[in-house]
Amino acid sequence: MRHTLPLAPQFYVTAPQPCPYLADRLERKLFTALQGTNADVLNDALSKQGFRRSQNVLYRPSCLDCVACMSARIRVSDFKPSRSQRRIMNRNADLARKGNSPWATEDQFSLFRKYLEHRHADGGMADMDIFEFAAMVEETPVRSRVVEYTKADAGNALMGVCLTDVLDDGVSMVYSFFDTDDARRSLGTHMILDHVAIAREAGLPYVYLGYWVPGSDKMAYKARFSGVEIYHRGEWQPLQSDAHYAEATDPLAVPPIAEQVAQISFPDVHPTKTK
């Protein structure tokens, strides 16, 4: 019998840089490598503790004087679409969904570039070339899918794409982009609504949305979904109003890095038999 220890990877901290969500603040990330035969297990465990995946890295905000970035997810059993969300679903009823292996295509990259030019021209991804885009999609050590949305009556035109991880308790929307020409479709919202449907079809309880930041207009749309909860103070709890999280930007709310790492729970890896 070969005995294995619980997964306990090394963690590192990025250098501070301007925060993309709150003015006059600096962001910093705590991160670790995601690799090896137990990558899925580690991704599942740390996603439940507010981490997100980017290629072969798991990260979580660990800023010097702020804890405003909080991981958000939808409890599928508690989700009920609003009237406006039902209208969005009806408007996009002509779209077909297809789940593919994580493989980048030229059509995806063209849509990605168009999306960035209209929505994030000054963002960190603005200079990505096709090779970097392919790495973002294809470099995944876990169970990932590329979910494409196409319009049949327009020659199967590609309308939206979401890189999605399949976790043991849900689906995680790693990154999504879409055609910005028809604003009435609200394709970003539609893809979230459809991922709720995907989770229901698979019998999974959550849809992970990434980070929600109180006071950030860029993140406000996530609060419009019912059943949203956030990872705050080491536990998942129902999302409340922005005012409830006023202390999140207080420097005294930030625990030391060593304490943050000490509080992370790692999965046990079952012993394997050897001959």
- Whether the predicted pLDDT of 49 surpasses 60: yes
Q: Could you read off the pLDDT of 92-142 as tens digits, one per residue?
A: 999 999 999 999 999 999 999 999 988 765 666 778 899 999 999 999 999
* Spatial CB neighbours of 113, under 8 Å, sequence gap ≥ 6: none
- Whether the predicted pLDDT of 75 surpasses 80: yes
Give the model's pLDDT for residue 274: 42
Alpha-carbon torsion, ordered 192, 20, 52, 165, to 10 deg: 40
154 strand-pairing partners: none
Contact 95, 197 (CB under 8 A): no
> 16-25, 33-42, 90-99, 122-131 — which one is most confidently predicted on average?
90-99
What global pTM score does this model have? 0.92
Q: Could you read off the pLDDT of 150-202 as tens digits, one per residue?
A: 998 767 899 999 999 999 999 999 999 999 998 999 999 999 999 999 999 99
Give the model's pLDDT for residue 81: 97
- Whether the predicted pLDDT of 24 surpasses 90: no
Positive or negative: CA dihedral 232, 233, 238, 242: negative
Q: How confident is the model at residue 2 (pLDDT cuts 50, 70, 90)?
A: very low
Cα–chain-centroid distance for residue 100? 18
Q: Give first-to-last CA distance, the chain, whole Å.
A: 8
Q: What is the mean pLDDT of the chain?
A: 91
User: Which domains does the chain possess?
Assistant: 74-231 (3.40.630.30)
Q: What span, in angstroms and rounded, lies between the C-alpha atoms of 270 and 156? A: 46
Give the model's pLDDT for residue 270: 57
Give the model's pLDDT for residue 251: 79
34, 83, 229 from 236: Cα distances, Å: 23, 27, 6
Six-digit token pair at 108?
Answer: 């995806």
Q: Could you read off the pLDDT of 58-70 as tens digits, one per residue?
A: 999 999 889 999 9
Give the model's pLDDT for residue 253: 79
Alpha-carbon torsion, ordered 207, 39, 125, 158, to 10 deg: -60
Between 48 and 274, name the one with better pLDDT: 48
